[in-house]
Amino acid sequence: GFQSKTYTYTDVVATAKVMAKYPRVDVRAVKASFRRHAKNLSGSVNIDAWCEDSLYLLEVLCELVPSQK
């Protein structure tokens, strides 16, 4: 799956996995931007959860990068 252990970096893990699997594509113009909506559910994250997902992301990146000899 694409999810991270504590759901802190779910979108980053998904992006890393997709980038490792497919070739690069150049996008001429960005058609979307980040906006904060009135019903935004984001908030602060526990530091332990953030650290656990950071470590998980590093593990995923190490698995995706080919070995260098």
Per-residue pLDDT tens for 10-65?
A: 788 888 888 888 888 888 887 776 666 666 566 677 889 889 988 998 998 898 88
Residue 68 has pLDDT above 70, yes or no: no
Tell which residue, 44, 40, 53, 46, has the closest CA to residue 13. Answer: 53
| Three-state secondary-structure class, residue 24 | coil
Q: CB atoms < 10 A from the CB of 4, how many?
A: 20
Q: What is the dihedral of CA 23, 27, 4, 6, to 10 degrees?
A: 170
Q: What single letter denotes the amino acid at residue 8?
A: T
Question: How sure is the predictor about 5, in pLDDT bands with cuts at 50, 70 and 90?
Answer: confident
pTM above threshold 0.75: no
